[in-house]
Amino acid sequence: MSVIEVTDLRKSYGGRTVVDDVSFTVDEGEIFGILGPNGAGKTTTVECVEGLRVPDAGRVRVTGLDPVADHARVARVLGAQLQESELQDKLTVREALELYAALYDKPADWRPLAERLGLTARLTTRFGKLSGGQKQRLFIALALIGNPRIVVLDELTTGLDPRARRDTWELVEDVRANGVTVLLVTHFMEEAQRLCDRIAVIDKGRVAALDTPAGLIRRSAGGTVISFTPSAPLDDRDLNALPALASVAHKDGRITLSGTDETVNAVITLLARSHVTAHQLRVSDATLDDAFLDLTREEAA
């Protein structure tokens, strides 16, 4: 069952279209990622889902409700990360948690939430004195405090150190294991690849691709990456003629090709035929990073 439906969403600022016919649905219990370069229209899209912005055209439904017309009811099922400006500097962590818990009929117990997010030692610290990462963790706790059915996390782990980032990923997995649907806006490929069931890649206001992480990798970068430093230059025409080739890149004398196993075998044949030795030959599975660059490059072209 879909809990979020976005159909032909459009939004312009001052005559410039920043969200251009975006459509996707998010199923109950799914972690759905929105991935895209800076300024792609990701935040504008999720703010329309949250009812914080009014679409110029198209339709948005959250559990069947219109987030603008039914804002109060949507706010009961959808938890969103706050923006920094929305909390007063003088409020302590405990006061913020208690204040937000009081806004809901059936709030979560904030103590285990605070514990899980490493905030227990900071309960008496004022918001203004928290580090960027601590603020971020508090925002995540506040997004979850109303026991929402859906949670929107925008740039969830920006500013967190690697340890805190991993802890937060585990928390998101726990949240989903409890049946909560997660809409996640991210810049981090590793985060998207690890957490998301499906991802919409948004570029210049449009959905460039929508698939599982594995599906995005398969269909764009071809699945396999081979890189090596040749002992002598190889003819570009020979490289470009390789079968199932998705991309070729040259950097600091190193060649990186993406394609399939067929491409790898053909490169080896080409090297032997050209009497060229490949130094530091590496073959690896393509990552979401490769797929993302491929997808957004295609759009740019």
Choices 42-50, 75-83, 104-112, 191-199 (CB under 6 A): range interacting with ligand ATP: 42-50
Rounded distance, CA 257 to CA 246, Å? 7
Of the pair 15, 162, the CB lying nearest ligand ATP is at: 15
Q: Does 55 bind ligand ATP (CB under 6 A)?
A: no
Each residue 239-278 as x (binds ligand ATP by CB under 6 A) or -, in order, gives: ----------------------------------------
Least separation in angstroms between residue 28's CB and ligand ATP is 25
Least separation in angstroms between residue 44's CB and ligand ATP is 3
Least separation in angstroms between residue 143's CB and ligand ATP is 17
Which 3-state string (H, E, C) describes the chain? Answer: CEEEEEEEEEEEECCEEEEEEEEEEEECCCEEEEECCCCCCHHHHHHHHHCCCCCCEEEEEECCECCCCCHHHHHHHEEECCCHHHCCCCCEHHHHHHHHHCCCCCCCCHHHHHHHCCCHHHCCCEHHHCCHHHHHHHHHHHHHCCCCCEEEEECCCCCCCHHHHHHHHHHHHHHHHCCCEEEEEECCHHHHHHHCCEEEEEECCEEEEEECHHHHHHHHCCCEEEEEEECCCCCHHHHHCCCCCCEEEEECCEEEEEECHHHHHHHHHHHHHHCCCEEEEEEEECCHHHHHHHHHHHHHC
Beta bridge partners of 256: 227, 249
Q: Does 36 bind ligand ATP (CB under 6 A)?
A: yes
Of the pair 39, 64, the CB lying nearest ligand ATP is at: 39
Rounded distance, CA 59 to CA 270, Å? 53
Question: Of 3, 4, 9, 18, which lies in the binding site for ligand ATP, with binding defined by CB under 6 A?
Answer: 18
Rounded distance, CA 242 to CA 284, Å? 18
Choices 36-44, 80-88, 109-117, 156-164 (CB under 6 A): range interacting with ligand ATP: 36-44
Q: Does 148 bind ligand ATP (CB under 6 A)?
A: no
Question: Of 3, 30, 31, 42, which lies in the binding site for ligand ATP, with binding defined by CB under 6 A?
Answer: 42
Choices 31-39, 86-94, 254-262, 284-292 (CB under 6 A): range interacting with ligand ATP: 31-39
Of the pair 42, 76, the CB lying nearest ligand ATP is at: 42
Q: Does 85 bind ligand ATP (CB under 6 A)?
A: no
Question: Of 3, 33, 35, 43, which lies in the binding site for ligand ATP, with binding defined by CB under 6 A?
Answer: 43
Of the pair 48, 75, the CB lying nearest ligand ATP is at: 48
Least separation in angstroms between residue 145's CB and ligand ATP is 24
Least separation in angstroms between residue 189's CB and ligand ATP is 14
Chain residues in the site for ligand ATP (CB under 6 A):
13, 18, 36, 38-44
